[in-house]
Structure 1
Amino acid sequence: MTNTQTTTNILMVDDNPGDVGLVRQVVENVRGIVLHVAHNVTQAHAFLMKMPPYDIAPVPDVIFLDLRMPKLPGYNVIPLVRREPLLRNVKIVMLTSSSLPSHRAQCDALGADDYVVKPGDWEQWQATITRALTRHGIPIHADDGHRATNA
């Protein structure tokens, strides 16, 4: 989030409503963060390319991207983001249950900025999401200014 920017837009691409809910809980009281959710790669593509019904969707600052999803794996989003001039600076954080080194290597090779294995409990989720955002320049300050949307 830059000094002139007042809102940080996060796009979470994940088919698991439980994981989406945990991230939503972590950011719900953080001033200036808006969480957008895409439940699959097709929705994420439409959101990122501003295709209807997402034609007024903001460019996300960060994408939390699950690796394992039905139909298309999450890593298919990485090349799309990296080849689009308006999206090239978007931070891509793989947020996945896979700890396989080959999955991490594949995501790194495609241009992911970070690879985070989903934690097991609430406190770990909170720490993991906070660390990932802070590591990519998004300060975490609790407030009641949260908004969340579904892509």
Structure 2
Amino acid sequence: MAERGDDGMARRILIVEDEDNIAMALDFLMGREGFEHARISTGAGAIDLIRDMRPDLVLLDIMLPEVSGYEICEAMRLDPDLRAVKILMMTARGSSVERRKGLALGADGFIAKPFELKELRAELHRLLDEAA
């Protein structure tokens, strides 16, 4: 059963992740949770895809080829049409400096890799329920 927002539409999530093994795990979780989802594996083109897809939430890796997650987050928050899209940043490092920087740029949440699927699921639902 699809996860739906208050408008009855399926919740859409865009995964911006360059590591295939992590992306496959995220793809599995999104499908199991009933989210509509798509993936892009590089930072280049992510903003255009976000504009086209209009996701409810972007799962955004920090360390990406070409354009960093920080740059994407900042661009989204500066764009009036994308400002309301929730951003959950992911990083392999998980340092407090990275967390502060991501939140300062406007991320709504932050999760360190490797993460427990239960923890990620809870964070996704927290952010999406907040948006509803």
Normalised by the length of structure 1, the TM-score is 0.76
* Structure 2: gaps of 5 or more residues: none
How far apart are 1:26 and its partner, in Å? Answer: 1.0
The answer for the alignment partner of 1:70 in structure 2 is 65
The answer for the alignment partner of 1:30 in structure 2 is 33
Distance 1:45 1:67 in 2: 14
Code of the aligned partner of 2:78 = R
2:44 to 39, 42, 59: 42
1:86 to 64, 67, 81: 81
The answer for the alignment partner of 2:10 in structure 1 is 7
Provide the secondary structure at the position in 1 that maps to 2:33.
coil
How far apart are 1:30 and its partner, in Å? Answer: 2.4
How far apart are 1:107 and its partner, in Å? Answer: 0.7
Task: Tell me if structure 2 keeps the 8 A contact 1:94–1:116.
Answer: yes
How far apart are 1:96 and its partner, in Å? Answer: 1.4
Cα RMSD of the aligned pairs, angstroms, is 1.6
How far apart are 1:39 and its partner, in Å? Answer: 0.8
How far apart are 1:36 and its partner, in Å? Answer: 1.0
* Structure 1: gaps of 5 or more residues: 50-56, 139-151
Code of the aligned partner of 1:11 = L
Runs of 4+ deviating beyond 6 Å? none
1:103 to 98, 105, 111: 98
Bigger fraction of residues in helix? 2
Whichever of the two has the greater Rg, that structure is 1
Distance 2:32 2:122 in 1: 16
Q: Number of paired residues? A: 126
The answer for the alignment partner of 1:133 in structure 2 is 124
2:112 to 109, 113, 117: 117
How far apart are 1:81 and its partner, in Å? Answer: 0.9
